[in-house]
Amino acid sequence: MQVSESRGVEFDAQLIRKLNKSGPRYTSYPTADRFVDSFGYRDYLQAAAALRTRGSRNPLSLYLHIPFCDTVCYYCACNKIVTKNHEKAATYLSYLKREIEMQGQLFAGMNQVEQLHLGGGTPTYFSDSQMGELLAHLRRWFQFAPDDVGEYSIEVDPRTVTPERVHSLRRQGFNRISLGVQDFDPEVQKAVNRIQSESETLAIIDAARDANFRSISIDLIYGLPKQNVMSMAQTLAKVVSARPDRIAIYNYAHLPHVFKPQRRILDSELPSAESKLDMLALCIRHLTNAGYVYIGMDHFALPTDDLAVAQRQGRLHRNFQGYSTHADSDLVSCGISAISAVAATYSQNVKTLDAYYEHLDNNELPIARGIKLNMDDALRRVIIQMLMCNFELSISSIEAAYPITFATYFTSELAALQTFADDGLLAIDDEWLSVTPKGRLLVRNICMVFDRYLATKQEQPLRYSKTI
C-alpha cells in the first residue's frame, strides 16, 4: 500500500482507489445544479432588502466575469466566448458597467468592498484603457477598502500581457494576480492548444514581484493528455523555483459530453487513473517538501500567505472562486453566468450575451435562476464549510447556533460517517468531527454525507468531477 504523509495531509493510494467517485466541489451548498428557474430578479431584490432591514455592515465581495478569450484551450470548462473580434468586448463592457451601476444603487449605504476578483475567460482581454475605465466605474458605485486591507485579484493569461501591463494592473488597484500555466511540457501544451513558454510566464511573475503584488498564484492541472509523472515533476520544479505564494493543482475532469472543447482531446492520450494518482502523490510530496502548506482540495500556499494565515485562524471560507479569506462577506457578482451569494440566497445570471443584454435593456438584473436557503440548507452549508475549510467541526457550536440536537438531527449521517471513521479518515466523539490527515484529500466524500440533495434526489454522476 502506498502511503505518504506530508505536513498535515496523508496520501493513501488504496483508500483513494476505493473511495474515488463523482461528487460536488462544494463551492456552494446547495450546489449550483440545485438552483431553480422560479428564483428571479425580485427574489434577489428581497434578499438585498433583507440585508438593509437588519442593518448589515458586513463588507462585500465583488466578482466580475469577463468571458472572452482569443483562443480555446481544449481542457477548459469555463463559460467563455472565443473570438478575435475585440469590438464585442467594448459592447460587453458597456452592459457590464450598467449592471455594476444597478448593483451599486441596490447596495448604496452598505457597499464597502474588501474583496474583488476578475475571472473568465481572460479578464485581460479588456485593453489597458478598458480595464482602467471599468475600475473607475466600480469606484464610483462602491467604496473600496484601502490596498493594505482589501484583496483585489485578477486572473491573467501570461500569453496576453506584457510586464508593462502587469505594472499597469497594479496601478489600477489589483494587489493579487493569478496566472494560468497548466503544464510547461511542450507536448502537453500542443495537445491542449495552449502554447506558453516558460520564459514568458517567468517574466510575468518577475513583473508582478517588481510591481509589489501582494500575492502571486499559479494554476496547474494534472491528468492532461500526454502528461506523465516525469513531465509533471519537471513542471513542478520550475514552478517551485519561481516561488509563487499560492499554487493550485487541479484534477483534469474529462467531461466531453458537457464541455465541447474537450472533444478535441483524444482519450488515448489521457494518462491512466493510476498515473494520475502517481502525479497527485508527486505534487503533494514535492510542494510540501518545498515548504507549502496544504490548504485543502487542490490548493497550497506558503505559510506566510493570507490563505494559510486565515486557515490557522479559522477564518477560511469557500466560494465560487475557491478558497477565500473573507468569510463574512456577501458576494455580489456581475457578468454572464456569474453567481451571487447574498443573505440566505444564491442567484445566477443568464449564460448568453443576447439574454444578458436583453435583461439590462429592460432595466432588470440578468438573473436566470437561484435558490432561497431554508434552515436545513443553512445548517448543512455551515457544516460543509467548516469541514472543507478547517477539517473539523465543533458539535457544540452547531447546537448553540441552531435549534437542534446534533446526534438526533443527523442520526443517519453519523451512521454513514462511521465507515470513514473505520477507515481512519475521520475521528468522531461527542464534541468534534475531525478529519484526519489521511481523510483530507477525501473531504468531499465526507461532506457528501451531509448533502441532503444527494440523498433525496437521484445523483447524476456525469454532472460531477471525481473527488480525487
Q: What digits encode the pLDDT tens for the residues 186-242?
A: 999 999 999 999 999 999 999 999 999 999 999 999 999 999 999 999 999 999 999
194 a known binding residue?
yes
Residues 197 and 68 in one domain: yes
76 a known binding residue?
yes
253 a known binding residue?
yes
In a domain, 121, yes or no: yes
Element spanning 456, H or E: helix 452-456
Q: How confident is the model at residue 303 (pLDDT cuts 50, 70, 90)?
A: very high
In a domain, 303, yes or no: yes
In a domain, 214, yes or no: yes
Provide the pLDDT for residue 206: 97
Provide the pLDDT for residue 4: 40
Read off φ and ψ for residue 216, nearest 5 degrees. -120, 125
In a domain, 65, yes or no: yes
- CATH code of the domain covering residue 450: 1.10.10.920
pLDDT tens-place string over residues 27-69? 899 999 999 999 999 999 999 999 988 887 789 999 999 999 9
Provide the domain limits for residue 438.
1-30+374-468
Residues 146 and 220 in one domain: yes
Residues 13 and 51 in one domain: no
Residues 6 and 80 in one domain: no
pLDDT tens-place string over residues 333-377? 999 999 999 999 999 999 999 999 999 999 999 999 999 999 999
Q: Are 388 and 318 in contact (CB under 8 A)?
A: yes
Please provide the distance, in angstroms rounded to a whole number, between the alpha carbons at the two ends of the chain.
17
Burial category of 424 from C-beta neighbours within 10 Å (exposed 0-12, middle 13-18, buried 19 and up):
middle
CB < 8 Å & 24+ apart, contacts of 83-90? 86/125, 86/127, 88/353, 89/125, 89/126, 89/127, 89/130, 90/130
Residues 41 and 69 in one domain: yes
By percentage, how much of the chain surpasses pLDDT 70?
96
121 a known binding residue?
yes
Residues 306 and 452 in one domain: no
63 a known binding residue?
yes
Q: How confident is the model at residue 457 (pLDDT cuts 50, 70, 90)?
A: low
In a domain, 128, yes or no: yes
Provide the pLDDT for residue 414: 97
Q: From 277, 304, 332, give the residue that closes a domain.
A: 332
Q: From 267, 298, 332, give the residue that closes a domain.
A: 332
283 a known binding residue?
no
Q: How confident is the model at residue 462 (pLDDT cuts 50, 70, 90)?
A: very low
By percentage, how much of the chain surpasses pLDDT 90?
79
Query: How many residues does the structure list for the chain?
Result: 468
pLDDT tens-place string over residues 159-175? 999 999 999 999 999 99
Provide the pLDDT for residue 243: 96
155 a known binding residue?
yes
In a domain, 159, yes or no: yes
Residues 9 and 59 in one domain: no
Residues 119 and 244 in one domain: yes
Helix ranges (H only) for 269-366 are 273-289, 306-312, 353-361
Round to whole Å and give the CA distance between 66 and 96: 9
Round to whole Å and give the CA distance between 423 and 4: 16
Q: From 307, 332, 357, give the residue that closes a domain.
A: 332
Q: In sequence order, what are the residues at sequence separation of 6 or more whose Cβ sits closer than 8 angstroms to the Cβ of residue 333?
A: 62, 63, 64, 65, 320, 339, 340, 349
pLDDT tens-place string over residues 386-443? 999 999 999 999 999 999 999 999 999 999 999 999 999 999 999 999 999 999 999 9
- B/e letters for 116-136, b = 16+ CB within 10 Å, e = fewer, are bbbbbbbbbbbebebbbebbe
In a domain, 445, yes or no: yes
Residues 21 and 135 in one domain: no
- The number of folded domains in the chain is 2
Residues 21 and 65 in one domain: no
Residue 458 has pLDDT above 60, yes or no: no
Q: How confident is the model at residue 2 (pLDDT cuts 50, 70, 90)?
A: very low
Q: Are 33 and 46 in contact (CB under 8 A)?
A: no
Q: Is 12 helix (H, G, I), strand (E, B) or coil?
A: strand
Provide the pLDDT for residue 190: 95
Provide the pLDDT for residue 188: 95
Provide the pLDDT for residue 455: 76
Residue 460 has pLDDT above 90, yes or no: no
Show the cell assigned to 51.
440585508
Q: Are 64 and 96 in contact (CB under 8 A)?
A: yes
Residue 6 has pLDDT above 90, yes or no: no
Region of poorest pLDDT, from 89-93, 230-234, 285-289, 314-318: 314-318
Please state the rounded mean pLDDT for residues 143-153: 95
- CATH code of the domain covering residue 294: 3.80.30.20
Round to whole Å and give the CA distance between 264 and 191: 9
In a domain, 338, yes or no: no
Residues 385 and 321 in one domain: no
Residues 24 and 56 in one domain: no
Please state the rounded mean pLDDT for residues 81-98: 95
pTM of the predicted model, to two decimals? 0.92
